[in-house]
């Protein structure tokens, strides 16, 4: 069943596609990556991706950090993830291509941010994922400190 365009509320674009959803220089909407990630990692990715777009850079970075730390605790303590060699999540090839576009756009703006996205999203074995989460935490803490210092 499809919905007729004239039946959509007047503020449809403000709900489904607000400007901060589509403002990234890569042209990729965050949901195109986030839907493939574990909950915590997806939220961290989203807050980093749209950092400062709603007016509070420090809060966005602190939220991303909270989700990264929570994901680290979840993966560290999870029995469901089994052996250390098991991948934590799967990214289809087309999503990996979108991620590459994001990394290129971010690295042209701010060196090192692209790697942060890769650390959060890359489909790797559990032990490497935990290392990536640790690296992401350190990078985000540095970003919080810089944002608080006004740099």
What pLDDT, on the 0 to 100 scale, is given for residue 1?
39
Could you tell me if 47 and 64 are in contact, meaning their C-beta atoms sit under 8 angstroms apart?
Answer: yes
Model pTM above 0.85? no
Instruction: Name the nearest CA neighbour of 117 among 15, 21, 24, 16.
Output: 24
Residue 13: partners with Cβ closer than 8 Å, 6 or more residues away = none
Residue 37 CA to residue 16 CA, distance in Å, equals: 20
What pLDDT, on the 0 to 100 scale, is given for residue 61?
93
Residue 24 CA to residue 38 CA, distance in Å, equals: 22
Give the tens place of pLDDT for each residue, 48-85.
Answer: 988 888 889 999 999 999 999 998 888 887 755 555 55
Residue 44 CA to residue 51 CA, distance in Å, equals: 10
Q: What integer is the mean pLDDT of 121-141?
A: 85
Percent of residues, the chain, with pLDDT higher than 90: 19
Helix (H, G, I), strand (E, B) or coil at 87: strand
Mean pLDDT of the chain: 79
What pLDDT, on the 0 to 100 scale, is given for residue 75?
82
Return the higher-pLDDT residue of 16 and 7: 16
- pLDDT above 90: residue 125: no
């Amino acid at each position: 069943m499809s919905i007729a365009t004239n039946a959509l509320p007047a503020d449809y674009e403000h709900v489904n596609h607000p400007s901060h959803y589509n403002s990234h220089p890569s042209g990729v909407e965050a949901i195109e990556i986030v839907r493939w990630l574990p909950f915590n990692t997806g939220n961290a990715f989203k807050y980093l991706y749209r950092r400062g777009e709603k007016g509070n850079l420090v809060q966005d970075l602190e939220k991303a950090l909270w989700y990264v730390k929570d994901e680290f605790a979840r993966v560290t303590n999870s029995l469901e993830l089994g052996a250390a060699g098991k991948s934590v999540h799967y990214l289809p090839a087309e999503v990996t291509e979108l991620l590459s576009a994001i990394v290129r756009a971010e690295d042209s703006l701010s060196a090192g941010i692209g790697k942060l996205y890769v650390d959060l999203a890359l489909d790797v074995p559990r032990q490497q994922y935990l290392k990536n989460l640790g690296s992401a935490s350190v990078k985000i803490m540095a970003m919080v400190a810089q944002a608080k210092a006004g740099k």
